[in-house]
Structure 1
Amino acid sequence: MDKPLVTVIVAAYNAANYLEETLHTILDQDYSPLEIIVVDDGSTDETAAIAKSFGNRVRYRYQQNSGSCASPRNHGLAAARGEYVTFFDADDLMLPGKISGQVEALETHSEAVFCVGNYRNFTGKTKSADHFSTCPELSLHLSTSCDSSFVLEAHECRNILISENFTIASSPLFRTRTVVSEGGFNTDLKACEDFHLIYRTATHGKVVIVPEVLFERRLHDTNMSADSERMLRNLIASRLSLAQHETDPVLVKHLDKRAQRYRRSLQSCLINKGQFGGAFALYKDTLPPRSLSDLNHDIRQGIKLMLGHFNDGKITRRSD
């Protein structure tokens, strides 16, 4: 019996420092047939030359820079021929057996719409603990499964995702038809578009969880997650968007509560950057506080905000 084709889509922007190593880890997988599509999102470095150097082992596609990962991933999805699809970041490293293990999990569990694997972060030669070990709710399921693969019901998966986002873009292997039915990634989001798609896809059915570490996520100064303000604004936008999409009122409330937490974090971020007007404007969305922790936050940030405006005034008067 022929095995299903798997498409690996790699969105790349100025990824010349890492792309070659990343592609080798994909090509070294013990699974075939495999289709690799690199979508160059308007790079100005040697990304194109590196991708093309792999010849017909890699399909190279180019587009004008979009400013996010959503558009090039959708570009690749439109060209994908595989029954299964995964989106792999151009600086991550795929560990042996990722593809074959996830295909086996989805072939075994035909009711599941995607499969999520564990991962760890690394910087240079330093590696973190595996990510699942930092997720208490997910770890409860891992303990009862004796660290073997297990299936989460759709509702439970979404509930845990809201509390402790246990997966990122490079992790899931999806059934392509399900991702296509959701329209791919939301291009209005400039970050968190992976969480947004994963959550929406998890409304379609069960999800298989594989506890083994299947890839390594590279941390460096140019990671999009290093831009705190951008991340927080998109964390808020993605959760509020999903609250409109979600049909379960309990999860809608959970998403709204999470967005409130991110608003308070954004407020702190803006105050630390001296953007006092923007921070003050957030009070209309965060008040009233819903807990003692919220109240403490509002008092602390309110004091900082008043001191910041006062100091700005002093500086202005001195410069006059």
Structure 2
Amino acid sequence: MPQRVAVIIPAHNAASTLPQQLEALAAQRDAPPFEVVVVDNRSTDNTAGVAKSWGAGVVSAPRRRGAPHARNEGVRETDHDLVLHCDADDIVNETWVADLVASLRVHDLVGGSTSLARVNDGAVAASITSPAVLGLPVCMGRTYVLAGNMGYRRGVWVDIGGFDESLDSGHEEVDFTWRAAASGAAVGFVPSAIVYYRQRVDLRSIARQRFNYGRSFAQLYSKHQHEDIPRVSAKMEARKIAMHLLGARHLVRHGDRRRPWLMHSAWVAGRIAGDLKFRVRAPG
């Protein structure tokens, strides 16, 4: 019997971007039959209505905010053998489903590549680096699968208890991958499965997102600090932060550096806040 496939998309106030993702999924080539499930996580717009208008199933997840909870609720409400995840504000390429499913014949957990083309203007795309182009991204010296471009056998999710919902500001996919690999899951990279990642444009929104990522990075470290995680000395970390702050003097002459400088500054501030909250010294 063919394995049943579900594409589960967490969504919060995504009515404006979700149609592009659903259109891309409707145009998949060479894919096995699959069901699209949009998990409405406390939306106040017409996210659910948009999903239904495209024929997608809708699961409501109002109990807790955050993508980890939404993904878990989506998996709980379905019984498919294979689960794929993408995000409501990105766009998958034409063979995304087929390529991830094919790789899951030999792997238990897989991730694809990302591109900043197609959904970002040139200035935004040039200011940052795609997290997964030539291979799986790396965090604290270890690879992981991006949750916005992920596929796995349902048994992986069952074995490790799903996504850690306390990591609701980021890095839940890092924790998920590490726990899956520790349980014996075979992890693979699928470069042909591409997600066109939409970067935020508003600088305040970017700073808030990066601050949250920095804080969740410290939270992730607090959970895994007893594992073999490489780190540098406190002196070296302080020097790196000082050099970054000194770089601010060049921002007046080089306006193209402002966005990446702000993004990193917010991340460092968030990491320091996370260190204080979780009483750790996460690696820089």
TM-score of Structure 1 vs Structure 2, range by shorter chain = 0.7 to 0.9
Q: 1:197 aligns with which of 167, 176, 182?
A: 176
CA distance in 2, matches of 1:79, 1:259: 46
**Is residue 185 of structure 1 aligned with residue 181 of structure 2?**
no
Contact 2:84 2:152 in 1 (8 A): yes
Equivalent positions of 1:274-313 (< 5 A) are: 285-286=280-281
Q: TM-score, normalised by structure 1?
A: 0.65
Report the alpha carbon displacement of residue 179 of structure 1 after superposing the two structures with TM. Answer: 1.1
Q: Which has the larger radius of gyration?
A: 1
- Which residue in the other structure is 1:238 paired with? 220
Report the alpha carbon displacement of residue 233 of structure 1 after superposing the two structures with TM. Answer: 1.2
- Which residue in the other structure is 1:227 paired with? 209
Compared CA separation, residues 125 and 270, structure 1 to 2 (3 A): closer
CA distance in 2, matches of 1:164, 1:266: 23
Equivalent positions of 1:249-264 (< 5 A) are: 252-254=227-229, 257=231
Point out the more displaced range, 121-130 or 9-18.
Answer: 121-130
CA distance in 2, matches of 1:65, 1:260: 40
Q: What do you get for the CA RMSD once the two structures are aligned?
A: 3.8
CA distance in 1, matches of 2:196, 2:267: 34
Report the alpha carbon displacement of residue 219 of structure 1 after superposing the two structures with TM. Answer: 0.8
- Which residue in the other structure is 2:255 paired with? none
Unpaired stretches in structure 2, ≥5 consecutive residues: 246-264
- Which residue in the other structure is 1:15 paired with? 14
Aligned residue identity for 1:10 = I
- Which residue in the other structure is 2:252 paired with? none
Unpaired stretches in structure 1, ≥5 consecutive residues: 139-156, 245-251, 295-320
Aligned residue for 2:24, secondary structure, equals helix
- Which residue in the other structure is 1:93 paired with? 91
Contact 2:96 2:192 in 1 (8 A): no
Report the alpha carbon displacement of residue 79 of structure 1 after superposing the two structures with TM. Answer: 1.2
Equivalent positions of 1:210-221 (< 5 A) are: 210-221=190-201
Contact 2:213 2:267 in 1 (8 A): no
Contact 1:233 1:266 in 2 (8 A): no
Contact 2:113 2:190 in 1 (8 A): yes
Query: Once the two structures are superposed, what CA deviation does each residue of 1:20-43 show, in whole Å capped at 9, x if it has no partner?
Result: 111111122231320111111111
Contact 1:232 1:266 in 2 (8 A): no
Compared CA separation, residues 213 and 6, structure 1 to 2 (3 A): closer
CA distance in 2, matches of 1:181, 1:130: 30
Query: Once the two structures are superposed, what CA deviation does each residue of 1:117-145 show, in whole Å capped at 9, x if it has no partner?
Result: 11112453445676445x6xx5xxxxxxx
CA distance in 1, matches of 2:233, 2:65: 24
- Which residue in the other structure is 1:43 paired with? 43
CA distance in 2, matches of 1:176, 1:259: 40
- Which residue in the other structure is 2:72 paired with? 74
CA distance in 2, matches of 1:280, 1:220: 26
